[in-house]
Structure 1
Amino acid sequence: MIFLYRILLKIRDVCQNMVKIATIEVAKNKGMKVGKNFFVQGIPNFGSEPFLIEIGDHVTIAENVGFINHGGDARVTKRIERYKNGRTFGRIRIGSNSFVGKGSVIMPGVSIGSNCIIGSLSIVSSSVPDNTVYAGNPAKFICTIDEYGDKLLVNTTKYPLDLEADRKKLEKYLIANLPHTYKPIKNNTDK
């Protein structure tokens, strides 16, 4: 039975990858600008105006990231005489060497700088400067990329880096060696 599950999962992965590639190619064909080494995990949603999106080099977009290029709210307001001519469109730009976390939404008119990290499930409603980490709803400044990198080095998971060339060996090593330690409970008075 497990063999059948593995086959089904493989078929699902192949189909999802085909849909991802098609989604990216259609968006590029409609005018989305994408730099080199663009990596997308899962199927992105580039909105109905992908020609308003510009993505730099070495950018990673995690699963379920949404790009909102215009305000669909006009479906309501255009039926109200006073607001019938109101419309919102905005370009979206992501600089080079940046990462947008899983489930994030980028709103119209937002520019995310280079060397930026956007935390998962963030709503990016204002522009983000170069070399920063933003997260939350709405996304807010967390720290600089240097501060983040320093914390990462202090808290890094140590393992033989040559294992990264063989995912199965890395997984086996992590299962056997990663300690069962968890973050402490935070109460409302902790900052």
Structure 2
Amino acid sequence: MFKRLYDVDDSLQKDLFLVKELVTFERFCRDQSLWIEMKKCFHPESAVCISWYKGSGQGFIEASEKMKGFAPHKINHMVARCNGDRAVAECITSIQMRQKLQGQWYDLTSYARLHYRLVRERDCWLILSLTGIYEKDTVEPAYCIGTPQPLDFDPEGYRPSYAALCYFFEKSGMAFYDDLPGIDRPEMVNALYESSGKWLSEA
């Protein structure tokens, strides 16, 4: 599904640009609380499956609007493939959170890949699905003042691909899902890629 493209014509170049621009803009809207614009990015029948949410794209936007705290996404690289009115894109992302735990501030960085399916309707690209693929995460004191107290955090109780992320959610009273694709469950990642590849080829 994700292979280097050669001899790409102008039409395909334009589609690839628009798909990547849409994914980037959707993440920008999410981080900047631009909810009205974010709604325009999702197909009416879209679905989202990430660490803290499973459901419709519309529901995801509403839940994001109610979410407390600030968790910006840093997009590092992105690949996309188009076939007719369908596209698949994936971006390498780091999710950043700051939370006060046991009287001290800690920073979390979660490394993940966000996997998108997109469709074109009436000359407009829209997100049909968004699935998180988790790799690893780290947590460290936000400020080097004094000696930080050890966290009551046992990573053995969580998925290694997003243990600290789930711990942060748990401490903030949020629900989370530990059954998502991750590098610790490569069979799930392969199944997702195979499914998206088949879906893309059927355009």
Q: Shorter-chain-normalised TM-score: which range?
A: under 0.3
More RCO (CA 8 Å, sep 6+): 2
TM-score, scaled to structure 2: 0.26
Q: Identify the structure with the greater strand proportion.
A: 2
